[in-house]
Amino acid sequence: MTDFLGLELAQPILRAIADEGYTTPTPIQVKSIPPLIQGRDLLGVAQTGTGKTAAFALPLLHRLSENGGQPPAKPNSRKPRALILAPTRELASQIGDSIRTYGRHLRLRTSVVFGGAPIRPQIRALAQGVHILAATPGRLIDLMNQGHLRLDAVEVFILDEADRMLDMGFIRDVKKICAALPKRRQTVLFSATMPNSVQGLAGGLLRDPVRVEAAPAATTAEKVEQRVLFVPKDKKRALLGDLLKDQDIKRVLIFTRTKHGADRVARHLHQGGIRSDAIHGNKAQNARQRALKGFRAGDIRALVATDIAARGIDVEGVTHVVNFDLPNDPESYVHRIGRTARAGAAGMAISFCDHGERAFLRDIEKIIRQKVPVIVDHPYHAAEIANDNGKAKGGPARKGIQRKKRQGHNQGHNQGQGDGRRKSRRSQRTGRQAA
């Protein structure tokens, strides 16, 4: 398959694809679109940046546009024909934008509903009728409970980023939503990783699914160069400031573990003359959208984010990802660094590691099945952290900047086993607030 013409999509969709300058489908699109057009259920394992939104959006639009050559039937009030469930506001909005772009030559109505925004306009849109609804779980259930939405006419149900959905504590909401769907439907589930919790969810939702993969589960994007810098915790901000003197770092996404940490880093960069902003769950939705708009436009060079807020960020030209704080969940590392090297471009992921994060780095290297090359040529290098690998017989860290080598084929892992059982109430609250 060399172009979109061979995928047998409706002509208005092919025209919209051509309008965007796309000519060649990505591997996940080649594997997903034909079975989805045939009406099969599908389980997709795809990292961010592989084109998975179009992989499910294009066949969905194709299905809804088929009406014997006539325009699609007018949608029923409060009864969408397709439901796309996403874990965060940003991702739901991104999906809605993509649907509108690819469906611009079709008479299909699309709406997006999520928390943190006024509910009245969302209620009005549903009352007028929509063909496709993209939503976060919390707001969707609110609308269902208030009688503004029914799911008994849904023909296609798509669950995107299922692993993050469960990580954020949405498992009960997802099950409640699924219980309201018709039993006869097409179901699509996409996940960047495939822990046991996601496999269990997929087993209960999908019927004889086609399984497709764009990359092995829990591996990192092939073109992302990874580096780690060992640094004392109190020197991280100084190191970041020095790092961003490099003008090759044109557009950088910086991850912190906490909301307050994101604000502190953004302030530090701003004081140093670097155009920056922060997004996290405590930020108002309009402030988050304003920051993302500035980042996309190039008005903001550095965007500081927490893991939950960053889900759904799809910005072209992110040259670098900096893990100011290493995540305590190694799968989050995979999601983070996937924000660069998108759509075939190159990118670099740089991680700061203090003494308390040494074990996190070890878990990350275990899940990606490779050592992250070490940079020692910086003024804050902490050899004592580098040499402390947390084992009785620790060897010194590798020195210098080395080209990373992709090792092996990750056949899956049980890192996520029991994720749902281990989720704390605090993480569940955080997840609900973000949606």
Q: What is the per-residue pLDDT across 277-290, written as a single tens digit (0 to 9) for each?
A: 999 888 887 888 89
Q: Which of 351, 375, 347 is nearest to 362 (CA)?
A: 351
393: tokens are: 């017989």
Give the pLDDT confidence score for residue 420 in this predicted structure. 36
Pairing status of strand 276-279 against strand 110-113: unpaired
Residue 45 shares a structural domain with residue 160? yes
Give the pLDDT confidence score for residue 329 in this predicted structure. 85
Give the pLDDT confidence score for residue 188 in this predicted structure. 98
Whether 434 maps to a domain, the answer reads: no
Structure confidence at residue 69 as a pLDDT band (50, 70, 90): low
Whether 425 maps to a domain, the answer reads: no
Q: Which of 93, 112, 385, 346 is nearest to 230 (CA)?
A: 385
Hey, which residues does 158 pair with through a beta bridge? 84, 188
Whether 219 maps to a domain, the answer reads: no
Structure confidence at residue 402 as a pLDDT band (50, 70, 90): very low
Contact between 33 and 25 under an 8 Å Cβ cutoff? The reply is: yes
Residue 209 shares a structural domain with residue 230? no
Give the pLDDT confidence score for residue 435 in this predicted structure. 46
Residue 190 shares a structural domain with residue 318? no
Give the pLDDT confidence score for residue 222 in this predicted structure. 62
- Residue 396 in this model has a pLDDT that exceeds 80: no
Q: Which residue has the higher pLDDT, 328 or 402?
A: 328
Residue 198 shares a structural domain with residue 65? yes
162-176 tens-digit pLDDT: 998 998 889 999 999
State the Cα–Cα distance between residues 232 and 249, nearest whole angstrom: 23
Q: What 3-state class would DSSP assign to 112? A: strand
Lowest mean pLDDT among 3-17, 361-375, 414-428: 414-428
State the Cα–Cα distance between residues 82 and 92, nearest whole angstrom: 14
Residue 18 shares a structural domain with residue 156? yes
In the listed set 166, 184, 213, which residue is the last one of a domain according to the structure? 213
State the Cα–Cα distance between residues 377 and 264, nearest whole angstrom: 26
For residue 230, count CB atoms less than 10 angstroms from its CB and return exposed for 0-12, middle for 13-18, buried for 19 or more.
Answer: buried
Whether 333 maps to a domain, the answer reads: yes
Average of per-residue pLDDT values in the chain: 85
State the Cα–Cα distance between residues 99 and 68, nearest whole angstrom: 22
Give the pLDDT confidence score for residue 351 in this predicted structure. 98
The CATH number covering residue 24 comes to 3.40.50.300
Q: Which domain holds residue 335?
A: 224-409
Contact between 131 and 82 under an 8 Å Cβ cutoff? The reply is: yes
Give the pLDDT confidence score for residue 285 in this predicted structure. 78
In the listed set 183, 213, 243, which residue is the last one of a domain according to the structure? 213
Q: What is the mean pLDDT of residues 240-261?
A: 95
DSSP structural state of residue 206: -
Residues 6+ apart with CB under 8 A from 71: 107
Give the pLDDT confidence score for residue 220 in this predicted structure. 60
Angle CA 232–257–375, to nearest 5:
40
Q: What 3-state class would DSSP assign to 278? A: strand
Report the predicted TM-score, pTM, of the whole model to 2 decimal places: 0.66
Residue 138 shares a structural domain with residue 284? no
Residue 204 shares a structural domain with residue 248? no
Q: What is the mean pLDDT of residues 134-153?
A: 97
Fill in the amino acid letter for 62.
H
Structure confidence at residue 64 as a pLDDT band (50, 70, 90): very high
State the Cα–Cα distance between residues 178 and 41, nearest whole angstrom: 15
Lowest mean pLDDT among 145-154, 222-231, 295-304, 398-407: 398-407
Structure confidence at residue 431 as a pLDDT band (50, 70, 90): very low
Residue 206 shares a structural domain with residue 273? no
Give the pLDDT confidence score for residue 421 in this predicted structure. 35
DSSP structural state of residue 198: H
- Residue 422 in this model has a pLDDT that exceeds 50: no
Structure confidence at residue 389 as a pLDDT band (50, 70, 90): low
Structure confidence at residue 219 as a pLDDT band (50, 70, 90): low
Structure confidence at residue 392 as a pLDDT band (50, 70, 90): very low
285: tokens are: 């939705």
Residue 69 shares a structural domain with residue 181? yes
Give the pLDDT confidence score for residue 237 in this predicted structure. 96
Pick from 45-54, 195-204, 333-342, 423-432 the range whose average pLDDT is largest.
Answer: 195-204
In the listed set 213, 245, 278, which residue is the last one of a domain according to the structure? 213
Helix axes 137-145, 119-128, angle to 10 degrees: 70
Whether 423 maps to a domain, the answer reads: no
Q: Which of 246, 383, 227, 384 is nearest to 302 (CA)?
A: 246
DSSP structural state of residue 79: B
Number of domains present in the structure of the chain: 2
Residue 196 shares a structural domain with residue 291? no
Pick from 141-145, 405-409, 418-422 the range whose average pLDDT is largest.
Answer: 141-145
Structure confidence at residue 221 as a pLDDT band (50, 70, 90): low
Q: State how far the alpha carbon of 137 is from the alpha carbons of 44, 96, 125, 308, in Å.
A: 20, 15, 18, 14
Q: Order of strands across the sheet with 132-135? A: 110-113, 132-135, 82-85, 156-159, 186-191, 42-45, 210-213
Residue position matching structure tokens 């694809």: 17
Residue 292 shares a structural domain with residue 343? yes
Give the pLDDT confidence score for residue 3 in this predicted structure. 84
The dihedrals phi and psi of 224, each to the nearest 5 degrees, come to: -85, 120
Q: What is the mean pLDDT of residues 128-138?
A: 97
Whether 146 maps to a domain, the answer reads: yes
Whether 202 maps to a domain, the answer reads: yes
State the Cα–Cα distance between residues 426 and 281, nearest whole angstrom: 13
Residue 130 shares a structural domain with residue 186? yes
Residue position matching structure tokens 């990192």: 220
Structure confidence at residue 419 as a pLDDT band (50, 70, 90): very low
Whether 284 maps to a domain, the answer reads: yes
Structure confidence at residue 218 as a pLDDT band (50, 70, 90): low
- Residue 432 in this model has a pLDDT that exceeds 80: no
Q: Which residue has the higher pLDDT, 80 or 346?
A: 80
